[in-house]
Amino acid sequence: MGGFSLADFFDSLTNVFLLRGALVTIGLTAAGMLGGLIVGLLIALLQGSGSRVLVALAKTHVWFFRGTPLLIQMTMIYSGLPQIGIRFGVIPSAVIALVLNESAYMAEVIRGGFLAVPAGQRDAAQALGLPRLLVLRKVMLPQALRTILPSIGNSVNSLLKATSIASVISMEELMRRSEMLMQVKFDVLEVFAAAAVYYLVLTSLWDRVQARLERRYGRGHIVGR
């Protein structure tokens, strides 16, 4: 227990048990972001639907999931809903909570991207008789993407770290497996230092992916990055 052991740190860093936890973290992040984007897009569209009921429902979703901690949301889904007869396993509970939470943020990001598209372009597309779905897919989304891509990239980084909250419902992602490994090895500093390295590597790799995506989709709009 005296000081920091470099040997124990590298032993933790190369531990297969911890590596598998990192893979689970990647999976949770991908599922949470993909689901968040899909649900967020739907919420953003409802906010611009013109229907008072649908707009109110969309705003309530954003208000609740942005205004309450992810920890409470996840605990309510996993431990609270069974009290009213609705039960989800650990993995579905974690994914549902991440998707619902992320969708509230993505809805606002996407809505902001739509607002950045000149209204004249949408009106011109509609005047040509294009269906609303085609206007959305061919006119609105491609232009909005250039605006919202940096925010989406930052959200991926935040979500990747937020997956650690799933450890409270015994989801064996990187954080939970770090805690389990620490309880066996009693190397608190070394194990969590190794976990920190995994998080840093994952976020750094995503930063590179994000930069390439921004260069590709923002070509002609983003000055050299």
**What was the pLDDT predicted at 19?**
94
**What was the pLDDT predicted at 115?**
79
**What was the pLDDT predicted at 72?**
96
**What was the pLDDT predicted at 156?**
93
Reported pTM: 0.86
**What was the pLDDT predicted at 219?**
52
Alpha-carbon gap, residue 194 to 15, rounded angstroms: 9
**DSSP secondary structure code for residue 171 in this structure:** -
**What was the pLDDT predicted at 117?**
76
Helices assigned H by DSSP within 48-173: 52-67, 70-75, 90-116, 119-127, 132-135, 141-162
Q: Among 101, 189, 113, which Cα is nearest to 149's? A: 113
**What was the pLDDT predicted at 54?**
94
Q: Among 203, 154, 66, which Cα is nearest to 58's? A: 66
Torsion of CA 3, 195, 14, 11, to 10 degrees: 20
Mean pLDDT in consecutive groups of 10 residues from the start of the chain, 225 residues: 80 92 96 96 88 93 96 96 94 96 94 78 67 71 80 91 94 93 87 94 92 73 42
Which CATH architecture group holds 6-217? Orthogonal Bundle (1.10)
Our measurement of the distance from residue 131's CA atom to the centroid of its chain's CA atoms, rounded to an integer in Å, reads: 31
**What was the pLDDT predicted at 126?**
64
Alpha-carbon gap, residue 101 to 118, rounded angstroms: 29
**What was the pLDDT predicted at 223?**
40
**What was the pLDDT predicted at 167?**
94
Domain boundaries, the chain: 6-217
**DSSP secondary structure code for residue 137 in this structure:** I
Q: Are 190 and 179 in contact (CB under 8 A)?
A: no
